[in-house]
Amino acid sequence: MLNQKSPRVLLVVFSIAVLILSPIFILILPVGVVETIYFDRKNILLLVPRANFYLMAGTMTLIIAILLLLSWRRSVSTYIIAFLLLAGSGTAAHYSSLSYTAIQDGGLVLKKFHTVNDYPWSSIAEVVYEYDPNTSGSYIFKTTDGEAITIEENAQFGPAEQRKIYRAVTGQGITLIEREKNTE
């Protein structure tokens, strides 16, 4: 009996390990899943929205809560609560893979959970690239219906991707305006 590890200790140690490793999962899993599932050669750029990272953080928080709950007490009621938390964690993990923004050769695709908005280049009236020399810029795609879609630059926007976006936009005859952000 003295040489065996207590289940309580094992669960607490495992929850601490999950807590330490969770930032890696939170940062890598949403990008990896979206890049894998929604990969298409037509994509110029595939962006993962912040909501996916928040949902993955919620997933990891629920997993840690399950482990701590089971280390505290193991009874029928805690097993039921742990199962419900596990179902919520799985649902949050699933939803963290459903949203993305794609800039493609044929236009823009905005998917938010179960809603897909497809904007072919023919429905885009103009593109405005606003930049600030000290920070990253943003692309504002204005549709013919007057809707404005703003996409903030991040680390995925390299020079090659920017050139592809410029070529795709100007190749379709869409007006491209570059201007410095108004900081006032």
The 10s digit of each residue's pLDDT in 64-109 is 999 999 999 889 999 999 999 999 999 999 999 899 999 888 889 9
> Do residue 124 and residue 167 come from a single domain?
yes
Q: Any idea how long the chain is?
A: 184
Asked if 100 contacts 50 with a C-beta cutoff of 8 angstroms, the reply is no
> Do residue 68 and residue 112 come from a single domain?
no
> Do residue 78 and residue 121 come from a single domain?
no
Q: Which of 95, 117, 150 corresponds to the end of one domain? A: 95
Q: What token pair was written down for 149?
A: 């879609």
The helix/strand/coil state of 176 is strand
> Do residue 19 and residue 77 come from a single domain?
yes
Binned at pLDDT 50, 70 and 90, residue 20 comes out as very high
Q: How far apart (Å, rounded) are the C-alpha atoms in residues 32 and 165?
A: 23
Binned at pLDDT 50, 70 and 90, residue 183 comes out as low
Q: How far apart (Å, rounded) are the C-alpha atoms in residues 177 and 86?
A: 49
Q: How far apart (Å, rounded) are the C-alpha atoms in residues 6 and 16?
A: 16
> Do residue 119 and residue 171 come from a single domain?
yes
Tell me if 41 is assigned to some domain. yes
Tell me if 142 is assigned to some domain. yes
The helix/strand/coil state of 145 is coil
Q: Sort 149 into a burial class: Cβ within 10 Å, 0-12 / 13-18 / 19+.
A: middle
Tell me if 2 is assigned to some domain. no
For residue 49, the enclosing domain spans 7-95
Asked if 147 contacts 139 with a C-beta cutoff of 8 angstroms, the reply is no
Q: What token pair was written down for 48?
A: 């993962």
> Do residue 120 and residue 173 come from a single domain?
yes
The count of domains in the chain is: 2
